[in-house]
Amino acid sequence: MRHAQQLGLICVVSRAVANRAPLPADGVVLEISGPFALFRKTDVYGRSLSSLLPRAARCQHFELEADCVLARGAAVTTLHISPIDPIYPEREAPSYARRVEARFARDFEALATAWQLVREPEPLDADGSLIFPDFELVHREHPEQRWQLELVGFWTPQHLREKLGRLRAAKLERLILCVDDTRRCSESDLPPEAHVLRYKGRVDAAAILAIIEAAENRANREP
């Protein structure tokens, strides 16, 4: 899922349901496509999609089904791949999907030394779907103080609506959404429980720290 996001693909993750054999009960389903695939057939995402295969091979069990057009004008062919096929795992050091993430990590780590910045934390369950925050902020001396931070981007308006819907379903109290002003999100679109910071080009690490400290101070004053 992280690799798909880095490549600019749309990836929606949900938990497997019992009637979708042969998926295990604790499995997940990833639905992946290129943004423009919603509007027309295009081969621009072929290499990006194919690069997911070596990563799928790192899973103990997986079943892959892909709709492919192997030549211009040809009919759609369905491709099935499983662990018995000769595909070998690929391992590589993670890299930041977006420049804004790398800038924020550098700024926050330099400013907020009392907080540990965890990149790509464990996914969170949101009413049957899984959401993948970009960062988790953990206080070094009080690890029970944990904040999820998500940089809101989108490829289509529908995808953005679905993403925000999953975040609302999660009802996270310590969630910070950093919303690019160019995304044109209205206040009514955003989860009411979330702390929202709008930005242009660069996420203000000092503003993030101020949001956290203000919320923690309010919590400490409550009886």
| Average pLDDT over every residue of 52-57 | 81
Give Cβ neighbours of residue 180 (< 8 Å, ≥ 6 apart). 151, 152, 153, 198, 199, 200
- Helix/strand/coil for 58: coil
Q: What is the pLDDT of residue 116?
A: 95
pLDDT of 115-150, one tens digit each? Answer: 999 988 888 877 667 778 889 999 999 998 999 998
Separation of alpha carbons 209 and 216, rounded Å: 11
The stretch 19-40 carries a mean pLDDT of: 65
Q: What is the pLDDT of residue 39?
A: 47
pTM of the model: 0.61
Q: How far is CA 123 from the centre of its chain?
A: 8
Beta bridge partners of 79: 66
| Residues, the chain | 223
Q: Could you tell me which CATH number the domain at 99-221 has?
A: 3.40.1350
pLDDT tens digits, 154-184: 545 566 667 767 777 777 778 888 888 776 6
Pairwise CA distance, residues 99 & 103, whole Å: 6
- What percent of the chain is helix, strand and coil (3-state, nearest 5)? 30, 25, 45
Contact 95, 105 (CB under 8 A): no
Q: What is the mean pLDDT of the chain?
A: 77
The tokens for 148 are: 């999820």
- Does residue 131 contact residue 123 with C-beta atoms inside 8 Å? yes
Distance (Å, rounded) from C-alpha 45 to C-alpha 36? 9
- Please report which confidence band the pLDDT of residue 48 belongs to, taking 50, 70 and 90 as the band edges: confident
What is the band of 19 on the pLDDT scale with cuts at 50, 70, 90? very low
Which amino acid is located at 70 in the chain? L
- Arithmetic mean of pLDDT, 185-191: 64
Domain ranges of the chain: 2-81, 99-221
Lowest mean pLDDT among 38-47, 84-93, 161-170: 38-47
